[in-house]
Structure 1
C-alpha cells in the first residue's frame, strides 16, 4: 500500500502554473517488509576505545510470527558477513569491545573511519525479506589515563586528508619516568623556572620539557633506523602511544592548514596575540618556550613560541620552514613542530640536541598507536 503525502504551491502561484505543479512525495509502507530502525542510514557509530563495556544497539521492527538474522559486512553483498541469529528479538546489543572485535573480523585493518553495512533478514510464513543499511564507525577516544602515574589526558581525533584517523593528546605530556618505570636520563623540567611562572594551572597546561634523547629513549642512529623502517617510537609516551614522526606532523599540518592551522590549535588563555585564535581543533596549545639545555633553570621565549618534539632526526633531503633544506644527515639535530605568537603557520623545523651545549628541551604531544 502507498501512503501519499501531497505538497502544493500557494494558490496565487497556482493560477499561472498547470495543475500538475503539485509535488507528490511517496512513502512506501508495507506491513510485511523487513524494516531496520537504528542506526539510521549513514549514521556514525563512535565506539569509545577506553569504555569497552559501553553498549552499541542495533534495532529493527518485529513482525508477528517472524524470526530475524542480522548480518554485517563491508558491502551490500554480504558474501563474508558476520551473522547473528536473533529469533524474534527486536534488537542486538553489543559492548564496545564486542563491536570492535566483530568489525575487525570483517575488516582486520579497521582502526579508523570505515563504512560498514548491516542487514535485517526477516523470515515469516516461509517468506524471506531483507533490507540493508550502511553506517560509518570510528574508534572514539576522548580521554586516556596513564597507568604509570594516573595522569589523565584529553584527546583530539582527526580524519586526515588521506582518510586515516589520528588520535593525539590535547594536553602536553607530564610523565617523569618511562612507561616501564625506568628513570629518564635527563630530568623532565616544569615551567617553574627562575622568576618566570608560579601559576599552577599554567604549569599543568605546559606539562614537562624533555631532551630529545629522553623523549625518544634512543640514540640518533637508532631513531634514524626506526624512521626509515616506518616504526613508531614510544619513547616517554604511555603504552599504546608514540611520539609523532615528521610525517605525522606534516599530515596534521595538511589537515589543519599549514599556513593557518596555528590559530586552530592555540589556547588563547596564554598567548599574547589572540585576535585570530579560534582553538577550533580543541588542541589547547599554550605558549611554552623552551630550555636551551638540560642544565638551565630558566625558560627562553616563554611568551613567544610553543614547540613539540617529533621522533625524527634531521635527515638529508628533508625540507623545513623558511627555506631550510637538509643537504646531509645532521647527527646534532632533531625535528619538531613549532608555533609562534606572531604567525598563524604550523612549522616543521629542526634544533640542536647536543648534550650540555645546546640540548633543547620541549614539550611532547603523544599520538595513539592504531587501535
Structure 2
C-alpha cells in the first residue's frame, strides 16, 4: 500500500515538474536574462552531492582570474540567526556560514528571487559573474553554464522521482547540463565509476564528465580552532555525528583517514542542534569509549556558539574538492565563459 501511494505521489509530482519545464521550453514561462554571465551549480537528486565545495571551487577559480563574483542562493532552510548581517536580515543557513568562513571576500546573497538578487549584486558589488548555488531547477534565471554534480555513492536517485525515489526531475533533463562533476569517486570502485559515466553518456552523451574527490586536509578543534595534521586520526577511536545530505560520505572520509568509528549518528540535512541533543551525543561518545568526536564544517558552524560541556576533543574534518580527472575539461569550459 505504501509503495503504491509513493508511486502515485511520484507520478503527480513528476507531472508538475515536467509541465513546468515544458512551459519554460515553450516560453510560456520566461527566463530572466541578466547583463552578466551566470554559472549554475546544481544537481538532479535530493541529498548531498557535493554542491557546496564545488561552488567554492568555482568561485575561487573565477576570483583567481581577477573576476568579481557573487554567489546567489535561495536560502533554503535559512533558520540560523546571525548578528550584524543586514543583507540577509540576520537569518542564514549552514552553507552561508561555511562560505563566510572559507571565502569571506566573496559576497553571498540569500533571496528566493535570484533575478532580483543578481541585479542587487551588480549594483552593490559590481559583480562581473554570478554563481548560482543549487540552480539546476531554477529555470527562471537564464544561465550561461549549467554544472551538475553527481554523487558517485548515489548517482541517479534510485531511478524514481520523489517521494518514491530521490530524483528532483526526470533523468532525461540531464541533457540541459554543460558539465557533470562526479564527486566521491575515491569511495567507489573503478567499475562502478565507469558504469555511472556510461549511463551519463547514454542520457546526455555530449556532456563531458569531470571526476573529483573530497580531499581531507586537516583537523580543526571546535574549542580553540587549533589545527592538527590529518595523520592524528590514524588508529584514533572516534564517535561521529553530522547533519548533511550524504552522511555515508563523511563516514567513509573518516575511515579513509584512518579513524576507527565506534559510533555514528546522522541527522537530517540542515538540522539545527539543541544543547540537549549535543549533551546526549557527548554521553553516547563516552558510552562507546571514544577518544574524540568528529563533525563536519557544516556542523561546526551551527554548534560553535551552543554552550555544551564536551568530555572529548571535538574535531572538524576540513575538506576541499580536488579534480582527479578532467581538469583541462573543467578549465576549458569555464574559460569559454570568461572569454
What's the TM-score bracket when you normalise by the shorter of the two chains? under 0.3
- TM (norm. structure 1) is 0.22
Structure number with higher relative contact order (C-alpha < 8 Å, ≥ 6 residues apart): 2
Structure with the higher fraction of residues in helix conformation: 2
Greater Rg over alpha carbons, structure: 1
